[in-house]
Amino acid sequence: MPTQRNVSDTVLVDDSHKLVLLASAKCGSISVLRMFYASSGNDEALRHHWPHDYRLSRLEADRARFEEAKGVYTQIKFVRNPYFRMVSAYFSCLSNDDWLRGYPEDHPFLHMVHASDSISFEGFLYFLEHEARDKHVDHCDYQLTNNEEVDIVVKIEDIHSELAKINSEFGTTYKYESYWHHRKKVPRSGVYRGNVAHSQLPCGDRTAFHDLLNEETCATIVRIYERDFLAYGYSFQLPDSGMNFT
């Protein structure tokens, strides 16, 4: 099973409005970073093609400020439906094996990925459920953190309406824009991740999120991430589908 962290990957402290913004990997964290830096006029951070570089350079200081702000500032957590988060993590896995960092070179799943340049979505989920063994796996840790106490949960599926409420209540000027930090759009060629189009990823023609979500895979995701579903009020029923996996 994945790891439950003590604090979210992304921690941003907005002293001007007495807010703390939190987000996990594959939950729009890059867009949250850029939104935060733009609202605070941090041009230095925005110049980074990879905003996480700037975030990581300030990680210890930001986490120290987070500890000081606990119980004083309003905490806002950005979350994502676990079904779609795992499909997004899977697409990342197909183009980058960083998610297997820390595992021995002779690990059977590492061999499978390198040997075939692919791993099925079912195999990816099997790895998370049975092989991860509480080790950190990039993009796949639980969204829920230990002893988490957040005041506002923002589901990125409703990001624009939720941000409108936050801006109205706190006087912020947050504006969220999707930022394809791993991907680039090429005219008439679909959405690319790195140098590989989704249509060219080694998962056949199953390139849409719903193509990968069926009764078996959704049941596995529920088994692995039930705590995230429950903590953030996500239904086990797949959105836009009659399937239910309670």
Q: Tens of pLDDT along 82-127? A: 999 998 888 777 666 555 665 666 665 565 555 445 677 888 898 8
Q: Is residue 238 in some structural domain?
A: no
Q: Is residue 5 in some structural domain?
A: no
Residue span of the structural domain in which 196 resides:
10-231
Q: Is residue 57 in some structural domain?
A: yes
Q: Is residue 3 in some structural domain?
A: no
User: How many structural domains does the chain have?
Assistant: 1
Q: Is residue 240 in some structural domain?
A: no
CA distance 35 to 159: 12
Q: What is the pLDDT of residue 173?
A: 95
Q: Is residue 1 in some structural domain?
A: no
User: How many CB atoms sit inside 10 A of residue 182's CB?
Assistant: 15
Q: What is the pLDDT of residue 160?
A: 93
- Read off the pLDDT of each residue in 76-80 and give the average, rounded to a whole number: 96
What Rg do the C-alpha atoms of the chain give, in angstroms?
18
- Quickly list H helices, 179-238: 209-212, 215-231
Q: Is residue 2 in some structural domain?
A: no
Residues 6+ apart with CB under 8 A from 159: 28, 78, 176
Q: Is residue 242 in some structural domain?
A: no
